Chains A and B, each alone.
Chain A
């Protein structure tokens, strides 16, 4: 059926690639690639983020592993609802005092943020936080 020209243009406009957003599946694949065959369990690592976010431009985030059974090699942070799934990777060296880091991250929308810790013994540990991001009401 031939669409009238106006509707055709509208359809064409909608077909233009929209702004890409990461998906839980994409993050899942990245985590799978990171973990490989190693066991992945919940716990040990603690991801600290506020559940109600006042402004998504800058959100205080900290990750820490208390009393790891084996030294923590790295911590990876992912955001399921941001345009890009990765947030940061932290690697701890011999002069690190403790496997913990605090920083500030951006959150595009309400979503789940996931942190994975890789220990030297090969095990991987996971924590996640579901948060609500409110948008500024008075748009400048």
Chain B
């Protein structure tokens, strides 16, 4: 079984004929400079909010994140493993889903909506703790194969699959824009096109709208499987959260 897993993983994780490139490598020098300077990276406005939320009690239990986790630096390495399998619940969860599970199960607080600014601030804060570390999501079936299949599935009115642009044509241009390989190593990130911060899910959702497909709903198995596949595909790449992209 493990052999089969390795074979499948090897077959679907090959990226073209070359090395993996982060979106950072494809961005302009000015965009890279924005990411490199924490004092100039707008994402740190969300990190600041995340730091405040971290110590703020919320929910019926009167607990804050800090109440159980202590200082946020203790979560170094955590986001590097996500999406991760929750064996108790028997599901693959993203970091955002984990934060919501913590809130509902331990804090007696409500779940944040997928585009809630507070959720974004917390996931950015936690993601930042793993900056510089290598992505290390543990491959697992059937999620990996499901995600890989979705990555190659043509969708939408434009009838394009993720792979057609981000694997087969990565490095080529779409209009005036360079097509990146589409790795999730910088999320949540500040995107100039959004003039704000966003999660990986926001990006995937927009990609799907871009090809005129009905986007997967926020916590659907498809969205999670695809996010998981992307993480495993980028395993070993350096986490840049919070990145800046055009």
Contact = CB atoms under 8 A, between A and B. Distances in A.
Interface of A: 50, 52, 54-55, 57-60, 134-140
Contacts of A60: 30, 33-34
Contact of A59 (B30, B176, B209): B30
Nearest to A138: B210
18 contacts: A54-B28, A54-B31, A54-B192, A55-B193, A57-B193, A60-B33, A134-B177, A135-B175, A135-B176, A136-B246, A137-B173, A137-B174, A137-B175, A137-B177, A138-B174, A138-B177, A138-B210, A140-B193
Nearest to A140: B206
B195 interface: yes
Given A50-B30, A140-B209, A140-B210, A58 B174 contact: no
Contacts of B210: 138-140
B27 interface: yes
A58 B206 CA distance: 20
A54 B31 CA distance: 8
Given A138-B207, A140-B193, A52 B28 contact: yes
Interface in B149-187: 173-177
A58 to B, nearest CB: 5
Contacts of B34: 60
B177 A50 contact: no
Contact of B192 (A58, A138, A139): A58
Contacts of B29: 50
B208 to A, nearest CB: 10
Given A52-B28, A55-B193, A57-B193, 9 more contacts: A50-B28, A50-B30, A54-B30, A54-B246, A60-B30, A134-B175, A138-B174, A138-B206, A140-B193
B30 A136 contact: no
Interface of B: 27-31, 33-34, 173-177, 192-193, 195, 206-207, 209-210, 246
Given A60-B30, A140-B206, A140-B209, A134 B174 contact: no
A62 to B, nearest CB: 11
A110 B27 CA distance: 19
Contacts of B175: 134-137
A110 to B, nearest CB: 11
Given A54-B27, A55-B193, A136 B33 contact: no
B176 A134 contact: yes
B179 to A, nearest CB: 8
Contacts of B30: 50, 54, 59-60
B233 to A, nearest CB: 20
Given A54-B28, A59-B30, A137 B193 contact: no
Contacts of A140: 193, 206, 209-210
Contact of B193 (A50, A52, A59, A136): A136
Nearest to B195: A57
A101 to B, nearest CB: 13
A137 B206 CA distance: 12
A85 B206 CA distance: 32
Given A60-B30, A60-B33, A137-B177, A55 B209 contact: no
